[in-house]
Structure 1
Amino acid sequence: MKNFFRKSFVLSVVSIIAASMLLTSCLSTFMDSLDGVLGTGSGKSTVSFTNDEAVFALKDALVEGIGSASTNLSKTDAYFKNAALKILLPSEAQPILDVLNQIPGGQSLADNVVLRLNRTAEIAAKDTVSIFTSAIKTMTIVDGIKIVTGSNTAATQYLKNKCYDKLVTLYKPMINSVLNKPLVMNMSANEAWTNLVTTYNKYGQIPNAAAKLTGSALPFPPVEVDLAKYATEKALDGLFLKIGEEEGKIRKNPFNYASNMIQKVFGSLIK
């Protein structure tokens, strides 16, 4: 009988210990989950910098990214020989391309415009730093921590969302002035584009006139494209892509940069 009570006592103790361990484990899991929701624990949601410091770091990172992107994109062939950045003719120009493919030497006309568009973007990239830096300095970021702890291109995307239209307005006149500069064989991008459109329109005059007489659809519909607007948007798309790549580098290796705030904020996020 003593053995029976002894075994029962031991089993009771073991059961109590096991239940306590299970309760402790569940409580720990619950607290971890609560910390994750409230951001009060030692999980990823807790940061060792203030929102103001995050904003300073973001601005420093964007200035660094823009400077590097501008330097790299202003090199010859930076756009033209990069498949991800190369500026092609606008989709509205497809009817022109269809006609040029039937004309001896027509493809070279299109190639000339493409080359000049990319040279325009490369030249304009040299002067982007002041425009972007001005935009960055006036940025008002409410939740810097959220952006800093976001994706590898969160800051770049924020800049694009907040400043894109304004940057287009500032950037377009500069792009247009470059489009008018002689770039290759003493011909500007605008001149090359005009030659392209003129050739297309001349080729389509007779077929279009015949179609009008019969009430048919025009076989060579007129092409109207704001080349400066198109080139500006494409140049900026490439620029933002490169800024995003630079932001990724900063996040990965923040201690390679001189900014103390970049090192403190982004460095604290490295696991």
Structure 2
Amino acid sequence: MIKKIGVVLLILLATSCNELQQVVNQLPGSSGAGLSNEVIANGLKEALDQGIDKQVRKLTQTDGFYKNELVKILLPEELRKVDKTLRDIGLGNLADEGLKVLNRAAEDAVSEATPIFINTVKEMTFTDAKNILLGNNNAATTYLQNKTNTALYEKFKPVIKSSFEKVGADKIWSSIITRYNAIPLTNKVNPDLTDYVTQQALSGVYKMIAVEEVDIRTKLSSRTTDLLRKVFALQD
């Protein structure tokens, strides 16, 4: 998922410390003797700090969504004709502002993801971790998505709704839709933007996790510690 997500997914909170040590002992090129429980715990903290938290922070920054082409929230299908029409009649600035506030709301919401991800990883079993390590290139992302999607939606949606109110998105989009609906021969629109942006924010989070997961699984240069190199040698 993220820098060092593999360490979290393999050795984070296995069913017992003995099992953790057994896994390490089985890794190619590892005697296992040098990895105490304290070292493993420190590896967990480092992975969390530079993994989940780092990736989430990136998306919560100003333009974390808006200027990231991988996750930038575009208009829903029914509003793309609104965007085009506004630009055609010289209201491009209004259209740009409408798009920006959708992304700002997602940036506000994603900060809610960190504790949910951390709690999910803590609940991971030894079997889960082993299956994820030896799974396909997005096995960790898929696991997290299956475990966290509902909880994140419930956290994101009220934050996005509040953000719309804070940045004036509700007024901006009310103005946009009112102007569009007043144009002769257009079909009236009234989409549920809160639900749409919530879903898009979730999609963006998981997409960035998947990018980082593939990176650490496939690039030796991304395995920046001995522990990462030893752990991921098992899946090579």
Q: How high is the TM-score relative to the length of structure 2?
A: 0.69
Aligned: 1:199 with 2:179: yes
CA deviation profile, 1:173-195 (whole Å, cap 9, x unmatched): 1121112112xxxxx22221111
Cα RMSD after superposing both structures: 3.3
Q: Which runs of 5 or more residues in structure 1 are unaligned?
A: 1-46, 50-55, 183-187, 205-218
When residues 192 and 79 of structure 1 are mapped into structure 2, their CA distance, relative to the original with a 3 A threshold, is same
Q: Which runs of 5 or more residues in structure 2 are unaligned?
A: 1-24, 28-40
In 2: Cα distance, 1:98 partner to 1:114 partner = 12
Aligned: 1:179 with 2:170: no
CA-CA distance at 1:108 after TM superposition: 1.7
The aligned counterpart of 1:256 is 225
Find the structure with the greater CA-based Rg: 1
Q: Compare relative contact order (CA 8 Å, sep 6+) and give the higher one, 1 or 2.
A: 2
In 1: Cα distance, 2:145 partner to 2:105 partner = 21
The aligned counterpart of 1:132 is 117
The aligned counterpart of 1:42 is none
The aligned counterpart of 2:6 is none
Aligned: 1:246 with 2:212: yes
CA-CA distance at 1:263 after TM superposition: 6.6
In 1: Cα distance, 2:137 partner to 2:172 partner = 39
CA deviation profile, 1:51-95 (whole Å, cap 9, x unmatched): xxxxx999x967853212112112222221222221111111133
Aligned: 1:48 with 2:18: no
Amino acid at match of 1:256: T
The aligned counterpart of 1:210 is none
In 2: Cα distance, 1:178 partner to 1:74 partner = 13
Alignment check: 8 A CA contact 1:175 1:228 kept: yes
CA deviation profile, 1:215-261 (whole Å, cap 9, x unmatched): xxxx422213211111111112111111122333444444539xx6x
**Percent of aligned pairs with the same amino acid:** 36
Q: Secondary structure at the match of 1:81?
A: coil
The aligned counterpart of 1:11 is none
In 2: Cα distance, 1:151 partner to 1:222 partner = 45
Amino acid at match of 1:91: E
CA deviation profile, 1:118-175 (whole Å, cap 9, x unmatched): 2222232333212332344345675432221122321012211333233212221112
Amino acid at match of 1:162: K
In 2: Cα distance, 1:177 partner to 1:100 partner = 26
In 2: Cα distance, 1:109 partner to 1:86 partner = 18
In 2: Cα distance, 1:149 partner to 1:61 partner = 19
The aligned counterpart of 1:94 is 80
Alignment check: 8 A CA contact 1:131 1:170 kept: no
Q: Secondary structure at the match of 1:87?
A: coil
Residue from 76, 93, 96 that aligns with 2:62: 76
CA-CA distance at 1:203 after TM superposition: 2.2
When residues 175 and 122 of structure 1 are mapped into structure 2, their CA distance, relative to the original with a 3 A threshold, is same
Q: How high is the TM-score relative to the length of structure 1?
A: 0.61
CA-CA distance at 1:117 after TM superposition: 1.4
In 1: Cα distance, 2:214 partner to 2:81 partner = 40
Residue from 217, 222, 227 that aligns with 2:188: 222
Alignment check: 8 A CA contact 2:116 2:151 kept: no
Alignment of 1:106-185 (within 5 A): 106-139=91-124, 142-182=127-167
CA-CA distance at 1:270 after TM superposition: 6.3
Alignment check: 8 A CA contact 1:61 1:247 kept: no
In 2: Cα distance, 1:148 partner to 1:63 partner = 20
